[in-house]
Amino acid sequence: MGARRGFTLIETIVACSLLLVVFGGVFYFFSVGARGFNLGLSQSQTLSDFQAFARLIKRDLELTHYYSVSTVMRTADTSRGTVDREGLSLAGLSDWGDDSRFEVATGLPKWDRWILFHANREDVGTLFRSELERRPVASGSYYPLRPRTAGDVLPLMIGDPAALPGILRSQTLTRNVHSFEVALDDGHQSVEVHLTTFADPGLRMTSQERDEEYKETRVVVVPLNSYPPI
């Protein structure tokens, strides 16, 4: 067996180049996979957030009376332009499972809550859901049921909802709110809610370009406790 010959320069260069291509390919694949993973995770989170938001707002709207629903128009000046950050007020009930929360003679709900959805005016906004007490009239009745005016609702849309007097409950539904719009459709007796969220731009899976991270969801609900139906 003769002495072993070393690698020639060319062999070394070819081997290194091949290794570079193979590892480059592996890393590219890994990087794309990682971006995809992050993107999927982010989308999954957004989907989950939207579903939670949609289920909550659908529940509140489906159980309310159309006559109690009102909207407050408001905009916010953000780094991405002027956007709608509106308010949605509706009547609710403290406990749908409690029979004492319904009128004895008619079986109708004793609307003892005001529910407010609103997005604040921060550059990247936050969407809140707040509950306030709705008191009966002097006779003890929770009727007539009329919507709250903008004058009633606007003061509740300023600052931290949890710190407002009279707030029974306040929760943050989603952050990264870009716009929150509400439209009442009297013709169909339905309420349409449109939420757009915004997140820092993320890299695309297969390029160095960044995508604008706007995601939107639209919910249309017919309030079912609108007695008597129109």
Partner 1 sequence: MNRRSRRGIALFTTLVLLTVLAMLVASFTSIHQKQLHLMQNDEHHQAAEEAARSALEYCQFRLERHRQWGSAEFDGAPKPDIATLQIEERTGTTRVDGKVLASGAEFRVRITNNISGTADVDGVPGGYCRLRVTASRGRSEVRREALLGTAPIFDGAVVASKNINIDAESLTISSTDPFRNRIRAKGNIEVPDYDGPFRFNPADSATETGLLWSQKGIRMGGKDLENPTHAQNAAEATGGRFLPRAATHHDVYDLQLEEVVNWGPVEADEQKVEVESGVYVFNRLETSHGDIPVLERRDWAIDPVSGEVTGDHVEEVWLVNDGLPTGATDGIAARYGIPENKVNRHDSNEFSLDTGVHVHFNSLNPYYGGTPEPPHIVLNSDVDLVANGDFGIMSASGNYDPVILFRDPITGEVGGKHSGTITALGSGEGKPGSIYLQGAIIGSGKLLAKGDVTIRNTFANVDSDGEDSDLSIYAGKNVTIRPQKQKWFDEETGTVDSSAEGHTAFRGLVFAGEDVLIEADKDVDPNVKDPANVRIEGAVVARDGNVTVQSGKDVNFIYNPLLLDSILARNTASRIRMELAVWREL
For 28, counting Cβ atoms within 10 Å of its Cβ (0-12 exposed, 13-18 middle, 19+ buried), the class is exposed
Residue at token pair 């820092």: 200
Residue 15 binds to partner 1 (criterion: CB under 8 A):
no
Do the beta carbons of residue 46 and residue 215 sit within 8 Å?
Answer: yes
1 binds partner 1 (CB under 8 A): no
- Which tokens sit at 201? 């731009």
Rounded Cα gap, residues 229 and 222, in angstroms: 11
200 binds partner 1 (CB under 8 A): no
Binding flag, residue 6, partner 1 (CB under 8 A): no
Pseudo-torsion of CA 15, 18, 20, 24, nearest 10°? -160
Shortest spacing between CB 187 and partner 1, in angstroms: 5
- Considering the rule CB under 8 A, would residue 145 count as an interface residue with partner 1? yes
Of 56, 84, 94, 108, the residue at the interface with partner 1 (CB under 8 A) is 108
Residues binding partner 1 (CB under 8 A): 26, 30, 33, 36-37, 40-41, 43-44, 47-48, 51, 55, 59, 62-63, 67, 96-97, 99, 102, 104-109, 137, 139, 141, 143-146, 186-189, 224-225, 227-230
